[in-house]
C-alpha cells in the first residue's frame, strides 16, 4: 500500500525531532531513510512532496551551515534580538 | 483557508524588458563595432542599428542611484537598460543622437563610460567587510582604490588586449577570481581560534572534523567541554571549518591580507581557459586605499601592456616568455610560497630544459 | 527620520577619485535609512580595526523556501542597533539582466520601505541583491515582490539562480537562445531552486559562444556554451575590406589561430574548417567578415568550481555538441541522472566536479549512461593503473582458452 504525503511527512518529522542535538539531517537523509523504512511504498516524488508539506506547515525549517539542513524551528546561536 | 500562497513562479519573463528594437531583431544581429570607448553599435540583418552605452558602477548601489539610472533610461531610451556580468550598467539606444547627451549626464552623475574592447572592465568583486562574516579583506574599498588608479584604462582602449580583474575577500571566492588576468584574493594566515566554551552548543563535532581537507581538526575535551583541537602545522587557512562552524573564526587583523594572482582567463579565444597563478603571496590590509595593492597591480598592468603582443592576454604573454622571465621582469621575489604543495603539485614543476636566461 | 552621520574620515577618503564611489552610495541611502547610517559607522570601524563584524545566520528565510535569504547579524548590536539584523535577499534577475525602468522602480520602492535602501546590481550569482533587512520584514518583502512578479533566487544546497549572457538579444555570435534556455531551465527547476535537496550547490550558466561572457566554464557546475559544427561563415569582400583598412591579417588573425588552420595569401583568406577549434579569435577580430557557422548548438561541460574544498576546477566536456531546442529532453534526462547519482552518493559540501574526481569520470559516465568519447579528455591516461572490474577464469565463455 502506497503511503500518503501526510504519513511520510509525520515519519520525517519524527526523524528530525529524534536527531535534534545529535545530527543535522539533509533532505537526502530523510528520503533515504523513508526508502529504507517503507521500500516500494514510497518514491522520490512522494518524499519531495512530504518535505514541502513539512516546510509549509512550519513544523520544520531549512537551515544553512555550509550546506542545507532540515531542522526543528529554534533560535539560532548567531541571532541578535 | 486564506489565499493560496504564491510560490515557485520564477523571475519575470525577459521579453517584458526588451526594447522594441531588440524584440524586432532578436537573433538577427549581423555584426557589431565599437564606435568609441564605452559605445558600440549592433547592426541587424534588417539594417536596424542598436547603440549600447556602457558606464561604470560601484556594484553597491543605493536605490537613489538606481532611480537616477531609470530617469536616464526614460529620458534617452524608452526606459530600457541592462546590467553586465561585470556590474556595469548599459543603456540601449535606437537613436544615435542621444549618445553624447547621455554620456554627459552619466559623467555628471559620476559614472565614467568605457570598459569595452582593449580596456579594463569593472572589477568583479564580493562583499568584504560591508556584509561578509568570513572576509579577510574589504572588497568595495580595494576595488575603488584600484580602479581610481586605473581609470584611464577603463575610459580608453589603449591596452594590447582585454584585462579582467576580480577580487574575492576570502577563499570561498564568491567572485570567481580563479580565472582572471589579475586576481586579488583576501587570505587568512592564522589558524582558527577555537571557541571551546560554545563550540559544542553551536556545531556538530564530527562535521567540524570532517570539514578539514587536511585532517587537521580532531575531537578533544577542553576544560571539561567537548570541543576540537587544531593541528596548526597542517592548517592551510581555507576556513572551511569556519563555514560549517562559527566557533572556529580565522579573521585576524595582524595576519589577514591580500594575495595577487595573474594569468587566468575564461574565454576560449586563442588559448584555452586557464587558472590564475600566484604572483604575490601577501600584501597587508592598509585601508582606506591599500597603496601596496594598487601599486602592485599598476606595475603588473603596465608591465603586460608594455610587453604583450596585440590581443595577448596576461596568461598568454607569460606563457610565451616563461615564468622565470616574468619574475625577473616584474621584480617580484620568487619564494617557497609560490611552489604548489597541494594535490597534483608535481604537474606544476618544470619538467624540461626549456628555460630562458 | 534622517540621523546625523557618524564621523568616517577613512571612508570619506573613498569619496574622492574618478571611479564611482560606494561610500557615496551608502551616504545617499543614509539620507533616509537609519540602517545605512549604522552601516557607515560599522564599516569605518572595520577600516580602523582591519576586521569584519558580521555573524552568519543559518536559519532565517521565508516560509517554505530553503533558499534566497542569507542571514546576517552584526557582533556589536548595542553599538549599531539599526543593523543588528542585516539579512540579504537574493531576487532572481530577469534573464540577461534586461530591465524596464518601471520594474526597477517597483523593487526600489519595496526596498526603501522595508530594507536598507542598498543593493548590489548584481551579486556574483547573478541575482539582484537586496542588502540588509530585519527578520520580521522577510515575509512582507516576499509578498510585495510577488505582487510585482519577482521571485527569490537560490542559496544553500540547491539549484542556484541560473544566469546567462545577453545572447540573441544583442549578440551576433549567440549559437543558441541563451535567455530563453536560462528562463526555461529556471522555471523547470523551481522546486530544486527553492527547496535545497542536494549535497551542495549546483549552478547553471549559459553562454552563447566560446567567448563565455558569463564565465560559465569557471563557475558553473554545468556550463552550457554555444558552438557550431559546420564551417565559419565568411564574407570575402569584408575580409578584403579589413585588409584594405590596415589590418595585418597574417599577424593579427592567422598567426593567432590555435589550430593553425588558416592561411592568407595577401588576397584571400582560407580556413580549413575541419581543424578549427571554435576558439572565436578570428571571428572576434573580424566581426563583419566572419561569423559562426549555421549548424549551431552547444557544448555541455561539467564540474567547475572555486577552490573550497578540494581545489578549483574548470568544467570539462560531457557532451561535445547538442542542439539546444525546447524541451531539451536529452539534456534534462542526463541532468536527472546526474542529480540522482550525486544525491545518492555525494558527500555534504561535495560539488559535482569534486564527486567526479573522487569516483572517477569513467565510473561517473557509466552510472549516468553516457558513452565515453575522446572529446572528454585532454589526452588519454599516462599511467597503466586501470581498474578492470572483471577477469576470466579458465574455461569461461569468451576466454582465449575456450576459443582454442
For residue C200, being part of any structural domain is answered with yes
**Inter-chain contact C84–A81, Cβ cutoff 8 Å?**
yes
Q: Phi first, then psi: what are they for B13, rounded to 5°?
A: -65, 135
Among chain A residues, the shortest Cα distance to B133 is held by A78
Look at residues C47, C21, C23, C26 and name the one whose alpha carbon lies nearest to residue C36. Answer: C26
B348 has a chain A CB within 8 A of its CB: no
Which cell goes with C34?
A: 537609519
Per CB-CB distance under 8 Å, the chain C contacts of B57 are 20, 121
C243: domain CATH number is 3.30.70.20
Residue B177 near residue B265 (C-beta atoms within 8 A)? no
Residue B348: pLDDT over 80: yes
**Inter-chain contact A77–B244, Cβ cutoff 8 Å?**
no
Residue A21 pLDDT class (50, 70, 90 cuts)? confident
| Eight-state DSSP code of residue C172 | T
For residue C158, being part of any structural domain is answered with no
Look at residues B163, B69, B141, B160 and name the one whose alpha carbon lies nearest to residue B289. Answer: B141
Residue B287 near residue B139 (C-beta atoms within 8 A)? no
* Cα distance between residue B231 and residue B89, in whole Å: 48
How does pLDDT run across C154-193, given as a tens digit for each residue? 999 999 999 999 999 999 999 999 999 999 999 999 999 9
For residue A77, being part of any structural domain is answered with no
Instruction: Tell me which residue has cell 579583506.
Output: B137
- Count of domains for chain A: 1
Q: Taking the mean position of all CA atoms in its chain, how far away is CA B288?
A: 19
Residue B1: pLDDT over 60: no
For residues C19 and C75, membership in a common domain is answered with yes
**Inter-chain contact C349–A56, Cβ cutoff 8 Å?**
no
Helix C22-30 with C34-49: angle, nearest 10 deg: 140
Per CB-CB distance under 8 Å, the chain B contacts of C146 are 6, 9
Size of interface B-C (CB pairs under 8 A): 350
| Global ipTM | 0.96
C98-100, strands of its sheet edge to edge = B29-36, B39-44, B49-55, B89-93, B80-83, C98-100
Residue C399: pLDDT over 80: no
For residues C28 and C171, membership in a common domain is answered with no
Q: What is the mean pLDDT of chain A?
A: 92
| Eight-state DSSP code of residue C249 | I
Among chain A residues, the shortest Cα distance to B7 is held by A56
User: Percent helix, strand and coil across chain C, each rounded to 5?
Assistant: 35, 15, 45
A29: domain CATH number is 1.10.10.10
How does pLDDT run across C25-58, given as a tens digit for each residue? 999 999 999 999 999 999 999 999 999 999 988 8
Among chain B residues, the shortest Cα distance to A23 is held by B204
**Inter-chain contact B269–C284, Cβ cutoff 8 Å?**
yes
For residues C246 and C360, membership in a common domain is answered with no
User: Of chain C residues 307-336, which have a CB less than 8 A from chain A?
Assistant: none
Q: What is the mean pLDDT of chain B?
A: 96
Residue C401: pLDDT over 70: no
Which cell goes with C235?
A: 564574407
Under an 8 Å CB criterion, which residues of A touch B?
23-24, 56, 65-67, 77-78
Whats the size of chain B, residue-wise?
Answer: 357
Full domain range(s) for residue A24: 5-71
Per CB-CB distance under 8 Å, the chain A contacts of B243 are 65-66
Residue A80 pLDDT class (50, 70, 90 cuts)? confident
Is omega for the bond preceding C309 within 30 degrees of 0, making it cis?
A: yes
**Inter-chain contact C156–A64, Cβ cutoff 8 Å?**
yes
Instruction: Tell me which residue has cell 510585482.
Output: C148
* Cα distance between residue C366 and residue C369, in whole Å: 5
For an interface test with C, which of B8, B14, B169 has the most C Cβ atoms less than 10 Å from its Cβ?
A: B14
Residue C404: pLDDT over 80: no
* Cα distance between residue C93 and residue C205, in whole Å: 13
For residue A20, being part of any structural domain is answered with yes
* Cα distance between residue A8 and residue A12, in whole Å: 6
- Count of domains for chain C: 3
Residue C323 to chain B, least CA–CA distance (Å): 16
A66 has a chain C CB within 8 A of its CB: yes
Among C248, C266, C291, which residue terminates a domain? C291
How does pLDDT run across C206-230, given as a tens digit for each residue? 999 999 999 999 999 999 999 999 9
* Cα distance between residue B188 and residue B134, in whole Å: 10
Residue B87 to chain C, least CA–CA distance (Å): 6
Residue B289 near residue B233 (C-beta atoms within 8 A)? no
Per CB-CB distance under 8 Å, the chain A contacts of B132 are none
- pLDDT value at residue A75: 87
Whats the size of chain A, residue-wise?
Answer: 81
Per CB-CB distance under 8 Å, the chain B contacts of C103 are 12, 16-17
Helices and strands (H, E) in chain A, number of each type: 3, 2
The rounded radius of gyration (Å) of the Cα atoms in chain A is 13
- pLDDT value at residue B202: 87
Q: Residue C226: enclosing H or E segment and its boundaries?
A: strand C222-228
Which cell goes with A39?
A: 521500500
For residues C209 and C282, membership in a common domain is answered with no
How does pLDDT run across C114-128, given as a tens digit for each residue? 999 999 999 999 999
How does pLDDT run across C194-203, given as a tens digit for each residue? 999 999 999 9
Full domain range(s) for residue C268: 233-291
Residue B226 pLDDT class (50, 70, 90 cuts)? very high
**Inter-chain contact B246–A78, Cβ cutoff 8 Å?**
yes
Among chain C residues, the shortest Cα distance to A72 is held by C59
Q: How many beta carbons lie within 10 A of that of residue C378, not counting itself?
A: 7
Residue C104 pLDDT class (50, 70, 90 cuts)? very high
How does pLDDT run across B54-72, given as a tens digit for each residue? 999 999 999 999 999 999 9
Question: Angle at Cα C189 formed by Cα C186 and Cα C193, nearest 5°?
Answer: 85
C89: domain CATH number is 3.30.70.2500
Residue C331 pLDDT class (50, 70, 90 cuts)? very high
* pTM higher than the cut 0.80: yes
For an interface test with B, which of A25, A29, A55, A77 has the most B Cβ atoms less than 10 Å from its Cβ?
A: A77
C233 has a chain B CB within 8 A of its CB: no
**Inter-chain contact B5–C215, Cβ cutoff 8 Å?**
no
Helix C101-114 with B63-77: angle, nearest 10 deg: 160
For residues C98 and C207, membership in a common domain is answered with no
Torsion-angle region of C388 (φ positive above 0: left; ψ -120 to 50: alpha; else: beta)? beta
For residue C153, being part of any structural domain is answered with no
Amino acid at each position: 500500500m502506497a503511503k500518503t504525503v501526510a504519513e511520510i511527512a509525520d515519519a520525517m518529522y519524527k526523524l528530525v525531532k529524534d536527531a535534534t542535538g545529535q545530527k543535522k539531517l539533509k533532505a537526502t537523509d530523510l528520503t533515504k531513510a523513508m526508502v529504507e523504512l517503507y521500500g516500494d511504498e514510497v518514491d522520490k516524488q512522494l518524499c519531495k512532496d512530504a518535505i514541502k508539506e513539512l516546510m509549509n506547515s512550519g513544523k520544520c525549517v531549512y537551515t544553512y551551515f555550509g550546506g542545507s539542513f532540515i531542522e526543528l524551528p529554534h533560535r539560532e546561536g548567531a541571532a541578535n534580538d | 483557508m486564506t489565499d493560496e500562497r504564491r510560490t515557485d513562479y520564477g523571475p519575470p519573463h525577459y521579453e517584458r524588458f526588451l526594447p522594441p528594437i531588440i524584440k524586432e531583431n532578436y537573433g538577427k544581429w549581423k555584426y557589431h563595432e565599437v564606435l568609441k570607448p564605452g559605445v558600440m553599435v549592433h547592426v541587424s540583418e534588417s539594417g536596424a542599428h542598436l547603440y549600447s552605452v556602457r558606464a561604470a558602477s560601484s556594484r553597491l548601489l543605493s536605490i537613489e542611484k538606481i532611480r537616477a539610472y531609470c530617469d536616464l533610461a526614460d529620458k534617452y531610451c524608452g526606459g530600457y537598460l541592462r546590467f553586465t556580468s561585470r556590474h556595469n550598467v548599459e543603456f540601449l539606444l535606437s537613436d544615435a543622437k542621444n549618445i553624447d547627451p547621455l554620456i554627459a549626464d552619466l559623467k555628471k552623475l559620476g559614472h565614467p563610460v568605457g570598459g569595452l574592447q582593449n580596456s579594463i572592465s569593472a572589477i568583479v568583486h564580493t562583499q568584504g567587510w560591508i556584509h561578509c562574516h568570513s572576509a579577510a579583506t574589504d572588497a568595495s574599498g580595494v576595488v575603488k582604490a584600484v580602479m581610481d588608479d586605473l581609470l584611464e584604462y577603463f575610459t580608453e582602449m589603449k591596452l594590447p588586449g582585454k584585462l579582467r580583474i576580480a577580487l574575492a575577500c576570502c577563499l570561498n571566492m564568491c567572485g570567481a577570481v580563479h580565472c582572471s588576468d589579475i586576481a586579488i584574493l583576501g587570505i587568512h594566515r592564522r589558524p582558527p581560534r577555537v571557541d571551546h566554551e560554545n563550540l559544542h552548543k553551536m556545531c556538530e563535532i564530527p562535521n567540524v572534523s570532517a570539514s578539514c581537507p587536511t585532517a587537521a581538526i580532531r575531537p578533544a575535551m577542553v576544560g571539561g567541554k567537548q570541543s576540537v583541537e587544531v593541528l596548526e602545522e597542517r592548517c592551510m587557512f581555507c576556513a572551511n571549518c569556519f563555514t560549517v562552524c562559527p566557533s572556529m573564526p580565522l579573521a585576524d587583523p595582524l595576519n589577514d591580507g591580500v594575495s595577487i594572482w595573474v594569468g587566468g582567463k575564461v574565454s576560449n579565444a586563442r588559448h584555452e581557459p586557464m587558472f590564475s597563478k600566484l604572483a604575490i603571496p601577501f600584501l597587508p590590509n592598509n585601508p582606506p586605499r591599500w597603496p601596496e595593492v594598487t601599486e602592485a597591480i599598476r606595475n603588473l598592468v603596465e608591465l603586460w601592456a608594455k610587453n604583450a603582443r596585440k590581443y595577448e592576454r596576461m596568461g598568454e604573454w607569460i606563457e610565451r616568455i616563461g615564468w622565470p622571465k616574468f619574475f625577473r621582469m616584474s621584480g617580484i621575489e620568487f619564494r617557497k610560497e609560490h611552489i604548489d604543495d597541494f594535490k597534483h603539485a608535481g604537474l606544476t614543476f618544470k619538467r624540461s630544459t626549456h628555460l630562458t636566461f | 527620520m534622517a540621523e546625523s552621520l557618524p564621523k568616517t574620515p577613512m571612508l570619506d577618503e573613498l569619496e574622492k577619485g574618478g571611479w564611482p564611489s560606494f561610500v557615496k552610495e551608502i551616504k545617499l541611502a543614509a539620507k533616509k535609512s537609519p540602517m545605512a547610517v549604522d552601516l557607515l559607522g560599522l564599516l569605518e570601524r572595520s577600516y580602523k580595526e582591519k576586521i569584519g563584524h558580521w555573524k552568519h545566520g543559518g536559519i532565517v528565510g521565508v516560509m517554505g523556501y530553503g533558499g534566497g535569504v542569507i542571514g546576517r547579524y552584526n557582533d556589536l548590536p548595542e553599538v549599531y542597533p539599526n543593523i543588528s539584523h542585516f539579512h540579504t535577499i537574493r531576487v532572481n534577475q530577469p534573464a540577461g539582466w534586461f530591465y524596464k525602468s518601471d520594474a526597477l522602480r517597483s523593487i526600489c520602492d519595496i526596498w526603501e520601505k522595508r530594507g536598507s535602501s542598498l543593493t548590489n546590481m548584481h551579486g556574483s550569482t547573478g541575482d539582484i541583491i537586496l542588502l540588509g533587512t530585519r527578520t520580521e520584514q522577510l515575509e512582507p518583502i516576499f509578498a510585495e515582490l510577488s505582487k510585482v512578479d519577482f521571485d527569490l533566487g537560490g542559496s544553500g544546497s540547491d539549484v542556484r539562480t541560473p544566469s546567462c549572457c545577453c545572447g540573441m538579444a544583442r549578440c551576433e555570435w549567440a549559437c543558441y537562445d541563451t535567455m530563453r534556455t536560462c528562463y526555461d531551465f529556471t522555471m523547470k527547476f523551481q522546486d530544486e531552486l527553492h527547496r535545497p535537496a542536494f549535497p551542495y550547490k549546483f549552478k547553471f550558466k549559459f553562454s552563447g559562444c566560446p567567448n563565455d561572457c558569463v564565465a560559465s566554464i569557471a563557475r558553473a557546475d554545468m556550463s552550457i556554451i554555444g558552438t557550431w559544427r559546420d564551417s565559419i561563415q565568411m564574407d570575402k569582400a569584408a575580409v578584403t575590406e579589413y585588409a584594405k583598412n590596415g589590418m595585418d591579417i597574417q599577424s593579427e588573425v592567422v598567426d593567432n589561430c590555435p589550430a593553425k588552420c588558416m592561411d592568407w595569401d595577401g588576397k584571400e583568406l582560407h580556413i580549413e574548417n575541419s581543424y578549427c577549434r571554435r576558439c572565436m579569435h578570428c571571428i572576434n577580430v573580424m566581426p563583419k567578415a566572419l561569423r559562426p557557422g549555421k549548424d549551431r548548438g552547444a557544448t555541455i561541460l561539467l564540474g567547475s568550481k572555486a577552490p573550497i574544498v578540494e581545489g578549483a576546477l574548470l568544467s570539462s566536456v560531457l557532451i561535445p555538441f547538442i542542439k539546444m531546442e525546447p524541451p531539451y529532453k536529452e539534456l534534462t534526462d542526463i541532468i536527472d541522472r546526474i542529480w540522482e547519482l550525486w544525491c545518492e552518493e555525494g558527500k555534504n559540501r561535495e560539488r559535482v566536479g569534486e564527486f567526479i574526481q573522487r569516483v572517477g569520470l569513467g565510473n561517473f559516465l557509466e552510472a549516468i549512461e553516457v558513452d565515453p568519447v575522446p572529446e572528454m579528455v585532454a589526452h588519454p591516461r599516462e599511467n597503466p593503473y586501470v581498474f578492470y572490474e572483471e577477469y576470466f577464469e579458465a574455461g569461461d565463455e569468451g576466454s582465449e582458452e575456450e576459443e582454442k
